[in-house]
Structure 1
Amino acid sequence: MSTPSTVDRAFRTALYDTTDAALDTAASLLAADPAADAEVARRGEEFLAAAWRRHWQPADVVRVVRRELDDVHVRLAAELIRAQAAHDRPRGPRWTAQVDALPAPGPAARPDRFAHATAVLELYRLLLRLPDLEPLDAPGGPRSRPEAGPGAGAESRSLARIRALLAKAEATGYPEEAEALSAKAQELMARYSVDEALLAARAPAPDAPGACRIGVEPPYEQAKAVLLDAVADANHCRAVWNEPFGFSTVVGFEGDLQAVELLYTSLLVQAETAMTRAEAAQRAGGRKRTKSFRQAFLAAYAHRVGTRLRAAAEAPVSDDLLPVLASREVAVADRLERMFPATTTTRLRGTADAAGWTEGSRAADRAQVTPRRPLP
């Protein structure tokens, strides 16, 4: 029996049939034919390429595999993505960063061929049923950024300073210091956003808003999605949550998208740290804290931070900047409407624990971002 025939038989048996018996039969066929391994891997790369055509990205695939399967499947997916990337076209810095961030390779030895074949088939079943997602590239394809001479270096320095400030805010054990560092980071984000807007306005070919997906991981995804929405709104972006696949799509201009990713990630770290401390204090007082406490804590944190970020976003700007910022806001809203012509709202759940809500609000106050200074 030829290798392609073995693979075809196995795939026909297992990939379009969800029963365990079909999976076992197909895995047995592959396990008995070591010569089929290369063809199985090649077919896997084809399945990935099809997922990319349906607008999935490496981080999206890893996220859904982690949610629906096991660690062994995550490692297999990462190996497959790395192998496929070697033959793929260039897809930009965000895509490259996702490939670089893939989980480390698993053990080289695979003594149990049947177990390995079973895991591969389970992964391929998942890849085949991935639906179409909204394309992230702007219509007409991604646009190149205008050359800005010294400005390009200034952009890198600004983002590096923002990252450094947020890293310090996450690491400090003093709430007041974390507040000051976060406030300074948001101030730099505001300045960076305006600089980007002015640079784009002067360019011969004006920039267009883009989009990225940011993971909203369990547990307490709803509160985290609310927090991400607040961060996006404060930084001239818009976010739409996809609950089944565990991410929000954020629409905005590239500099603002980077700011949203940085601030959201940092606030999550700060919230987790504050929640751990609050739980320890509750336990020291003899009161047990449960899932309801943590859920209410994060819900209150998201609500309170959102309130303060919205207040910060109301800082006045000079008259000459208003048309530039207004046109960018219209462009973002238009892109969002074209990507998501129909959206729904959802009510925030899990806020019944009064102690959790109180502690979450206090933590948000300590992580607050002070109002932006008036922009020239």
Structure 2
Amino acid sequence: MKINLAGLMLCTFLVACGGTAPFGEETDVVEDGDEEIIESDRTVPPGTANPTSDDLIFRKEARDDEGGNGFATGVSYNSEDDTFSVDNLPFDGSDDTPYIRGRAVGSLGQYAVYEAVEQYPDSANGSTINQFTHRAIYGVSRSGQTEFAIVRSGAYVNYGFGGFVYQRNGDVDLPTTGQALYNGQGAGLRDYNGRGGLEYSTADVQIAIDFGDFNADTGQYEGAVDGFVFNRRIFSQDGTEITQNVLDRINEGNNASLQSVPTIVFRIGPDALDVNGEIVGTLGSRFGNDSGQAVTYEEGNYYGIISGDGANEIVGVIVAETGVDPSADNVRDTIGFTIYREDRE
């Protein structure tokens, strides 16, 4: 399916548009999420301490001791039995009970879904201990050169403990002129702050990169990044689509008539792209209510890495949070994606 970028660009100006392979090595990560790993005006997530364009880059969600972000460690996919391992999350089983392929929802598009065990025995007497709800999404690109994973829990009143990781396994030959368009799909986990609950999300993801501008006035590589997350859908844990249910309560609480989840739009500015192929920036979404007022729906960030000899794929994670859903204080959508720069037919 071909997507018209020019049509999507209009949304920028409108109020409403609808063997185990572990991630990274612990010896090569920076634990301080506030440290600027690359010399620039921006901050990338913790991970590879000295990234280059010629090698693996690993990133993980910055740890927040109060909010529970970034606690997931030891993330790995086990190809021999199609299971998924995560460490450092309480009450999600143990080392002998990895996450299994989701029973009600085993995949979201091309991305695999895994779930933790529901019960675990007392190690002394075998008594049954109920475990917390945990879900993981794992994605690997068609080339195998990029991958991501997201782990969230719906068992806490607040967001709870989880995390995300994303990784480039090879190198990138990054252009210094011209532009590129990437298309594909994303899949995510929605969790709630103010009540328990966990849901799935899907979307189309499109990113455009101008490799020639902004100019590198600071002596750094400064391209520009634009992007959209659209055709967004929401599903319950049993796989039932609940997009309209979510829209109904948002409309009721905000005097609105939304017919689709608002499109996420990347904010364009300098320092979004570096010479190693990493992209970071902010994003948001808005809609117009029935009184003609613009309402901010979401605020958040995007993180990603470009890969390939032709800079032909991007892996990344988008985190967008809304405070206008009346069912909770906040709702967070964490979306992973692998998208591609396709040859024209």
Higher strand proportion = 2
Query: TM-score, normalising length from structure 1?
Result: 0.21
